[in-house]
């Protein structure tokens, strides 16, 4: 008998086009590509698919801290490029997404994060959100950044699955870019991700540490 969950996942994957490349293949093929075709215009449908896929990433308590700023204005992109060591992908990529996180998302109508859950489950989880986060500013910030990281990887793998290249970027003046995008006071900046049609392959991978160097069983 075919697993009902498998059928459901296939039904979810097909509408957003994520069945075009196997997941493991996408992971190995994803590279930080720096050079893009500046004349390529990403179809609105592909942009929508990528954003919808991005927000499927997991977050603690389903809080969904991420807030994405799409750099669309050419003049704004030029300003950001000047603050990013003149990296060409800022202006040449089809899509540039600035990842930010709402540090106080846990306190903003938390019941909306569980609106589709069974009532008893929603009541229990929503009731835990406040006590878990309140007074723990370090945790609030950490959770926002963790959420950003998982969403970024989801976006980049989704982009590769749809035939696009991507580049995560932290090489920019964080404070000044935050001013340009008018970052709210209760938000944190994360990296940017450039996405488009690459015109030059990335360097060969410089080398991955062997598993024996990074994996332990039960303790260090």
Average confidence (pLDDT) over 31-59: 98
- pTM, whole model, 2 decimals? 0.88
> pLDDT tens digit string along 30-44?
999 999 999 999 999
Tell me the domains of the chain and their CATH numbers.
25-198 (3.40.109.10)
- Is residue 19 very low, low, confident or very high in pLDDT (cuts 50, 70, 90)? low
> pLDDT tens digit string along 131-186?
999 999 999 999 999 999 999 999 999 999 999 999 999 999 999 999 999 999 99
Task: Give the per-residue pLDDT at 11.
Answer: 42
> Residue 211 in contact with residue 129, Cβ under 8 Å?
no
> Residue 93 in contact with residue 167, Cβ under 8 Å?
yes
> Residue 23 in contact with residue 157, Cβ under 8 Å?
yes
């Amino acid at each position: 008998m075919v697993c009902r969950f498998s059928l459901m996942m296939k039904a979810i994957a097909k509408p957003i086009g994520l069945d075009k490349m196997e997941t493991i293949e996408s992971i190995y093929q994803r590279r930080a590509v720096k050079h893009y075709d500046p004349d390529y215009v990403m179809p609105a449908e592909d942009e929508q698919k990528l954003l919808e896929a991005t927000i499927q990433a997991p977050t603690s308590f389903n809080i969904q801290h991420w807030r994405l700023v799409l750099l669309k204005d050419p003049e704004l992109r030029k300003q950001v490029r000047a603050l990013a060591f003149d990296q060409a992908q800022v202006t040449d990529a089809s899509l540039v997404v600035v990842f930010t996180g709402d540090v106080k998302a846990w306190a903003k109508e938390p019941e909306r994060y569980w609106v589709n859950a069974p009532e008893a489950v929603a009541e229990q989880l929503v009731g835990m959100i406040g006590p878990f986060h309140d007074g723990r500013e370090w945790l609030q910030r950490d959770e926002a950044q963790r959420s950003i990281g998982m969403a970024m990887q989801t976006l980049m793998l989704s982009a590769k699955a749809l035939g696009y290249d991507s580049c995560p970027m932290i090489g920019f003046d964080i404070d000044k870019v935050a001013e340009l995008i008018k970052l709210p006071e209760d938000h944190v900046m994360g990296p940017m991700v450039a996405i488009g049609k690459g015109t030059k392959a990335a360097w060969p991978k410089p080398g991955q540490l062997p598993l024996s160097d990074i994996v332990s069983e039960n303790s260090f």
